[in-house]
Homo-oligomer: A and B are copies of this chain.
Amino acid sequence: MAKHDPDLSLLFHALADPTRRSILTRLAETPARVTDLAGPTGLRLPTVMRHLSVLEQAGLITTSKDGRIRTCAIVPQALDPVRTWLDEQRAIWDARLDRLDAFVMNVMKESKE
């Protein structure tokens, strides 16, 4: 069985949370402070901090601190591995579509029990 990129696990896991996806969407608009990000979520600061740290460890955002203010911004190319994996899978999956179609037909026939 194929070896699989650990980075992909981090990325997918980071993207699996709705709050984190909101944060990303918000950051796509413009960089923002931690407090700015906490506001719309209705979550407490430490909670948001943790989400940010997950996003940062996955490489999806960068943060930098100026005085007491930490500013967060997306890292656009961070989604590239995900896109690549998706493209690879689509290529393989589509290549087998004919075989799969036959199988699905079989399944549908069988599941009429």
In the complex the two chains form, is A8's CB within 8 Å of B28's CB?
A: no
CB pair B4–A93 under 8 Å, yes or no, is no
What does DSSP make chain A's interface, helix, strand, loop or mixed? helix
Give every chain B residue within 8 A of A97 (Cβ-Cβ).
76
Q: Which residues of B contact A17 (CB under 8 A)?
A: 9
The number of residues on chain A lying at the interface, defined by a beta carbon within 8 Å of a beta carbon of chain B, is: 48
Q: Which residues of B contact A74 (CB under 8 A)?
A: 93, 100
A1-B16 in contact (CB<8A) = no
Q: List 22 A-B contacts (CB under 8 A).
A: A1-B25, A1-B26, A4-B18, A4-B21, A4-B22, A8-B15, A8-B21, A9-B18, A12-B12, A13-B16, A24-B89, A30-B99, A31-B103, A62-B107, A73-B104, A73-B107, A74-B93, A74-B100, A79-B86, A79-B90, A79-B93, A82-B86
> A residues engaging B (CB < 8 A)?
1-2, 4, 6, 8-9, 12-13, 15-18, 21-22, 24-26, 28-31, 40-41, 62, 64, 66, 71, 73-74, 76, 79, 82-83, 86, 89-90, 92-94, 96-97, 99-100, 103-104, 107, 110-111
